[in-house]
Structure 1
Amino acid sequence: MRKGLMVLSLVLACLALVAELAHVWRGYEFGSFGTSDFIEYWSAGQLLRQGKSPYDFDALYNVERSVGWSEETPLIMWNPPWTLTLMLPLAFLPFNIAAFLWFCVNLAILFACSAAAWRLFAPERFLRQVGIAWIAAFVFMPAIFTLQMGQISSLVLLGVAGFLFFVARGNDILAGACLALTMVKPHVIYLLLVTLCWWIATRRRWRVLLGLAAALVGLTAVVLCFSPHCVEHYLLAMREPPLYWRTPTLGGVLRILLGWEHRWLQFFPSVILSLATLICLIVKAAEFDWDQAISPILLISVPTAAYGWSFDQVVLLIPYIQVISLIVQNGRERIASSAPVLLVLLLTNGLMCWQNWRGLDDLYQFWVPLALGAIYIYSRVALCHGGHKEHK
C-alpha cells in the first residue's frame, strides 16, 4: 500500500512538473535557465549533422551567433568526439526545444542517480525514504549549477551510478558500457579509471573493459558516419588545449601561487596521485569494495583533476548522499552527533549559493570538495555504526 502511494505520488509530481515546463518552454531561448553551456553542444551537433567539423571554431562561432551568442569568441566544445553521439538527437531540433528537453533529461538524471545512490547506501530504507535523497539532491548546489548551465557533467554522474549498479549485479558488460558515459569528461574521475584498471587486471573482470570499449567504438562510429575526419580534427584542436582557464582545482591554485606560466603544475597533482593510488592498491588492497571505495575516490579525484568546474562537482552527489544516509541511519536518538554534520552541509550549500549569486570567479569554489571530504570523514567516524553489503 505504501509503495503504491509513493509511486502514485511520484507519477503525479512528474506530470505536474511536465505540465509546468510545457507551459514555459515557448519562451525558452538562449539566456534562459539551462542554456548558457548547452549552446556549445547543440552548435557542435549542428555542424556534425551537416558533415562539417565540430572543432572548426569559426563555423562553431557562426552557429552560436545565430541563436543568441554575443561574445567575441565562440564557446568551444573540448569534449572527445564520442560525446557528440550522445547529444546528436538534440541537434535535429530547434535550439529552444533542444535546450528545454536537455533540461528535462538533466532533471531525470538527478532523480535517478540520487535514488540509485540511496539504494546503494541505505537499501533497507529505499522505498520508505527515497524522497529524502531527492530533496537532498535538489539542494546540492553543484546539481543546481549543472541544471543552470545546461551542462553534460550529469552524464559522468550517470555513468558512475550505472557502473556501480551493474557491477554489483555481476553484469560486467553493462557496467563497462555505463563507464562510456564518464568518458565525456574522463579527467574529472581519473582516479576511478586508475582504480578500474587495477581492479580489472587483478580480478580478471575483462568483460567490463569489453563493454567500455564496445560502447566507445560504437559512439565514435556514429560520429565518423557524419564527419569522417572528426577524430583527426579533435586531435588537432587539442594541440592547443585551453590551459588559460582558472579552474577550481589544485592544479589551478598551484599555478596561481607558483607562477601561471608553469603549465605542468596543472597536471602535477593528478599524475602524482595516480601513481600513489596505484602503488597503494598493489601493495595493500587485497580486499576491495566498490561501494565503500567510490566516495573517497571521487572526493580525491574532483579537486585534484587537471581541470574542472563547479558544475563538474555534481559527481560528488554520490558521497553527499552517502553522508545523508548516515545521518538518517543514525536515528533521532543520536541527534547530537548528526546535527553538526547536517548544519555544516547546509552552510556549505548556502555559501556556494552565495558565491554564485555574487558572481565570484569559479576558482573560489575550490574549497567545496575539500569541505565535503572533511564532512565525509567525520561522518564515517562519528555516525557510521553498521556495515553495508559488499560487492567485490
Structure 2
Amino acid sequence: MGIAFLRDMNWLGANRVRSYLRILALGNIAMIAIVVATSHGGLDANGFLLGTDFISFWTTGQMLHAGGNPYDAAAHISAQRVLYASPGHFTAFFYPPSFLPFCWPLGGLGYFPALGIWLGATGSLFIVALREWRFEAGKAVPFWLALVAYPAMAIVLTHGQTSWLVAALLGTGLLQVRKRPVLAGICLGLATVKPQFGVLVPIALLASREWKVVVVASVTAIALAAFSAVIFGAQVWSDWFAATARAQAAMHDGAVGFGKMVSLFAGLRLLGVSGALASSAQGALSVGVAALVLRTAWNRRWDRGLAALVLAGAPLVTPFVLDYDMVLLAFPILWLAGEGLHHGFWRWEKLTLFTVFAATAFARPLALHVSIPIMPLVLAGFFAAIWSRATERGRVHCET
C-alpha cells in the first residue's frame, strides 16, 4: 500500500464512489430539511432570514421600484429592515449596475415568492449548463446523484446567492466558444454581473484568437452597462465606483469573515498575516495563474480542456470568493472525471477530484472554528491537475 493508497486510489471504484455520493447527498438533504423544519416565521434557528444573502438583491429591486439608490448604504440598511430587522446584521450590495436589471423584477414580488423564483430559475439554468458538459464528457458520471451530493449546491440554496446564475453563464459561454460563438459571447458578456470571476476569460480568448467571441462578449457587456445607465440613470455607475471602496475596506477588514472566504488572501489573513503581505501573495498567485492560462491558450484551438482550465483558475485569481461560489468548479470537475473514466486516471487525479468535491462541506467549519483554511491548497491542487491534463503533461497513469 503506502503512498500508492492515495496516489492511485485503485480502491475507489464506481460502487464506492456512489456510496460516498449517497452519504454526501443525504447530508445535504438533512441540512436543508433541518434548516426549514427549525425555522419559524421565515427565520432559521439562528434568527437569520431564510435565503440570507438574497435579501440584498430583493431589497435592491424594491429600491429600484421606489426610485431609490441601492448603493446608498444607509438607505439600503433601512430598506432591508422594513422586512427583517437584525441589530448589527446587514447584507451589503456591491454588485455593478449591470446586475440591476436582474434585481428589478424581484422587487415586484414578495420576498419568499421572489426567493423561490430566483432559486428555481437560476438553478435550472445551472443544471442545463452542466448537462451540456455532461453530454460532452459522456454519461459514465452519475450526474443527478453527484449534483445532489455536491456540498456547494446546498450552500447556494440556503444563501439564495447568484452563484448558479454566474456559473451557468460562464459554463455555457466557455463550452460554446467553437460551436456557437455568438451564444458564447452573449453569455460571457452577461457574466460581467460578477466580474471578478471573468478575469481569465479575455486572456484565454485573446490568446486563442477567438475574435468573434471577444467582440460579441464586449458588445454584450457594454450594451448591458448602457442599458443599466439608461434605465436607472448614469449616476448609478459613479455611485457603484464609490461603493467599491467600501467593498475593498470590508474585505480587508474581514467584515465578510475570512473563514467564509476561500481565497489565498483570506486564508493568510485568517492565519494572522498582515493585509499588505496577504495582498502581495494573492497578487503573485493571480499573476502566476494568468500566465499559465496565457501560455496554455496561446495560438491553441479552443477546446473543453482550455474551458475547464479557465473555470478552475477563476476562484484562484480573485481575493473575494466564498464557498458558495464553488459551484463554478462543477464544470471542470465533470470534465476531469470524464477524462479519467474514458482515458484512464493519472496519478493523484482521483484524490484531487475526491478532495475538491468534498472540501466545501468542511472548509467553512474548519476555518471558522479552528482557523484552518484548507481551500487555497485544494483549489491550487485542482488547478494544477486540470492544467496537467489540459496540456497533456504528467502522462504517468495509475498502475492497474
Compared CA separation, residues 211 and 355, structure 1 to 2 (3 A): closer
Aligned residue identity for 1:176: G
Asked if the contact 1:84/1:223 (under 8 Å) is kept, the reply is no
Figure out how many residues of one structure are paired with residues of the other and give that number: 346
Is the CA contact (8 Å cut-off) linking 1:270 and 1:305 kept in structure 2?
Answer: no
Describe the SS at the equivalent of 1:366. helix
Segments of 5+ residues of structure 1 without an aligned counterpart are 1-20, 386-392
User: Which one of the candidate residues 282, 299, 313 is aligned to 1:286?
Assistant: 299
Q: 1:189 to 1:213 in 2, by over 3 A?
A: same
Superposed displacement of residue 215, structure 1: 4.5
Residue 300 (structure 1) aligned to one of 313, 316, 330: 313
CA gap 1:351/1:252 in 2 versus in 1, 3 angstroms: closer
Deviations 1:88-129 (A, max 9, x none): 21221111110111121233133212201112323xx4xxx6
Residue by residue over 1:147-184, the C-alpha shift from the partner in whole angstroms, topping out at 9 and shown as x without a partner, is 22111022221112221343232x33321110023212
Partner of 1:237: 243
Structure 2: distance between partners of 1:28 and 1:165? 42
Cα distance between partner residues in 2 of 1:327 and 1:271: 28
Measured in 2, the distance between the counterparts of 1:188 and 1:226 equals 25
The one-letter amino acid of 2:291's match is A
Q: Distance in 2 between matches of 1:174 and 1:73?
A: 40
Deviation at 1:58, TM superposition (A): 0.9
Task: Note the C-alpha offset of 1:352.
Answer: 3.2
Which SS does the other structure have where 1:238 is aligned?
A: helix
**Structure 2 residue 360 is the aligned partner of structure 1 residue 352:** yes
Shift of 1:193: 2.8
Partner of 2:190: 181
Q: Is the 8 A contact 1:146 1:154 kept in 2?
A: yes
Structure 2 counterpart of 1:226, from 220, 225, 232? 232
CA distance in 1, matches of 2:355, 2:231: 49
Q: TM (normalized to structure 1)?
A: 0.74
**Structure 2 contact 206–214 (Cα < 8 Å) conserved:** no
Aligned to 2:130: 114
Q: Is the CA contact 1:30–1:69 (under 8 Å) kept in the aligned structure 2?
A: no
Separation (CA, whole Å) in 1 of partners of 2:266 and 2:187: 29
For 1:66-145, what aligned pairs fall within 5 Å after superposition? 66-122=82-138, 125=139, 132-145=142-155
Does residue 161 (structure 1) correspond to residue 171 (structure 2)? The answer is yes
Distance 1:270 1:225, change over 3 A: farther
**The residue matched to 1:138 in structure 2 has which SS?**
helix
Partner residue in 1 for 2:330 = 317
- Structure that is richer in helix per residue: 1
Runs (5+) with no aligned partner, structure 2: 1-32
CA RMSD of aligned residues (A): 3.7
Question: 1:62 — aligned with what?
Answer: 78
Letter in 2 for 1:114: L
Structure 1 window deviating more from structure 2 (222-231 vs 104-113): it is 222-231
- Residue type of the alignment partner of 1:287: R
Tell whether the 8 Å contact from 1:51 to 1:227 is kept in structure 2 after alignment. Answer: no
What is the one-letter code of the residue matched to 1:312? D
